[in-house]
Amino acid sequence: MLERGCTQVYTGNGKGKTTAALGLALRAVGRGLRVCVFQFIKGGGPYGEHLVADKLSPFFTIIQTGRPGWVNTRDISADQLIAQEALVRARELLTSGDFDLFICDEINGAVGFGLIDVEQVLELIRLKPEKVELVLTGRNAHERVIEAADLVTEMCEIKHYYKAGVPARTGIEM
């Protein structure tokens, strides 16, 4: 159990936000902490982190929400409903006392797409138990979320192999 939990934000247009959060999760599990990675707008898969979660259970739990593919930006209503239901579940798990580290992966993206409201994210921060570390990932973190956080890291893309035509690779991006 942590003596004091903080709120961290990993944002920016560069690669590595989820990867950084998963690295923190691995470190926490190594120290016997209980971790939940709650993934917003990440349907499909399985991704590599899902494959390792079973091996690290009961210390490492991943919950995936969202539709396969990406958010339908022409009609977000289905994605909005899924995200709102996911937010209710995330709130329950965050406050359950079952986890020491709670990662809301891509929650900033869910706000950016209009699937959840920034006020709902700020409520999660306010509800965070004192001894729970909360991590919020995703591009374009809202300035109010940045202000409310204890630590903010911005991943900045300088060069990316996607632009040279290298697709997402199993074991690296997924």
Q: Per-residue pLDDT tens for 61-77?
A: 999 998 887 788 888 99
Return d(Cα 145, Cα 148) in angstroms, integer: 5
Q: What confidence tens digit (pLDDT) does each residue in 121-133 have?
A: 999 999 999 999 9
Going by C-alpha positions, the residue among 37, 35, 52 that lies closest to residue 1 is 35
Report pLDDT for 81.
Answer: 95
In the chain, where the domains are located: 7-155
| Whole-model pTM over 0.95 | no
Report pLDDT for 44.
Answer: 77
Query: Residue with structure tokens 């926490």?
Result: 28
Report pLDDT for 160.
Answer: 84
Going by C-alpha positions, the residue among 116, 125, 122, 120 that lies closest to residue 144 is 122
Report pLDDT for 73.
Answer: 83
Report pLDDT for 68.
Answer: 82
Residue type, 25: A
Q: What confidence tens digit (pLDDT) does each residue in 101-117 have?
A: 999 999 999 999 999 99
The more confident residue out of 162 and 97 is 97
Going by C-alpha positions, the residue among 16, 15, 35 that lies closest to residue 25 is 35
Does domain 7-155 fall under CATH 3.40.50.300? My reply is yes
Query: Residue with structure tokens 């923190």?
Result: 24
